[in-house]
Amino acid sequence: MIDFHVHQPAVTSAGSLPYTAREYADYAGRLGIELSAMFTFDGLRRPGKAANDSLAQFVAEAEGRSVGFATVDPNDPGAAGEIARCVSEHGMRGVKLHPWVQGFSAHTAGLDPICDVAADLDIPVLFHDGTPPFSAPLQLATLARRHPRTTVVLGHGGLHDLWREALAAVQSTANVHVCLCATPPYAMRRLIDRLPLERILFGTDGGLFPEARQQYVALRIRQLSSLALSEPERRAILEDNPRRLLRLS
């Protein structure tokens, strides 16, 4: 299983991380997670080189069980160059953006060079979605239609309130994918039943608690198991689709 939505832990008040990358990777492995797509947490509030370098170091310490996604400020004129640096220097496999926390809309002009460089590098751009006013799925679908070469991922499948809008966003826009992360089980089942199977991913939202053993990650996997996925569904959502987007062999 590949978990497409995991956070590097936040730095504690003592200035250190609450657990190591290996400790989390070992815990995830016991739950059947082979690989985690990892995003910075602190860097969403302070995006830039330092946050991306910290994430790259954390990912490296996981010894092949994590891949990193760069985070940038869309209003930074050097954002596209920072993404290219993260890919070339650190081997990062995507971009994570959070319109709600970072305070930008899908119409922000700085998103255009970000989407262009992501398309050129063949990496996905994953957005937090499901929380208005800036993170509604159809807003992000509008951005995706402006950039048809760019793979856009709705990072939460619309959460609890906007999953129907996430469904419409994927159905109406060919380059939009959905990650079932914090989406309630009944909504996950509806999305799987109604969307092209090749555009569905799964994530746990791991990393938000200050210990390596995270009960929410285990809960999300139990919820996924409750859906009784067919073998083609399981293979596509948990293996084939994330491997394709992350350019893994």
What is the distance between the alpha carbons of residues 190 and 86, in angstroms, rounded to a whole number?
Answer: 36
End-to-end alpha carbon distance in the chain: 14
Both tokens of residue 45?
A: 């509030």
Least confident residue range of 9-23, 87-101, 148-162: 9-23
Both tokens of residue 227?
A: 């859906």
Task: Give yes or no for a contact between 47 and 73, defined as CB atoms under 8 angstroms apart.
Answer: yes
pTM comes to: 0.96
Q: How confident is the model at residue 39 (pLDDT cuts 50, 70, 90)?
A: very high
Q: How confident is the model at residue 237 (pLDDT cuts 50, 70, 90)?
A: very high
Mean pLDDT of 244-248: 97
Cis peptide before 133 (omega within 30 of 0): yes
Q: How confident is the model at residue 68 (pLDDT cuts 50, 70, 90)?
A: very high
Q: Please, what's the b/e burial string for 163-177 (b: 16 or more CB within 10 A of its CB; e: otherwise)?
A: bebbbebbeebebbb
What is the pLDDT, as a whole number, of residue 44? Answer: 86
Mean pLDDT of 172-194: 98
Listed by start position, the domains of the chain span: 2-246
β-bridge partners, 135: 131
Mean pLDDT of 44-61: 93
Q: Which fold has domain 2-246?
A: TIM Barrel (3.20.20)
pLDDT, tens digit, for every residue of 185-234?
999 999 999 999 999 999 999 998 888 899 999 999 999 999 999 999 99
- Sheet hosting strand 2-7, strand order edge to edge: 2-7, 35-39, 66-70, 94-97, 125-127, 152-154, 176-180, 200-202
State the amino acid at position 135 in one-letter form: S
What is the distance between the alpha carbons of residues 152 and 1, in angstroms, rounded to a whole number?
Answer: 21
β-bridge partners, 6: 38, 206
Report helix, strand or coil for 136: coil
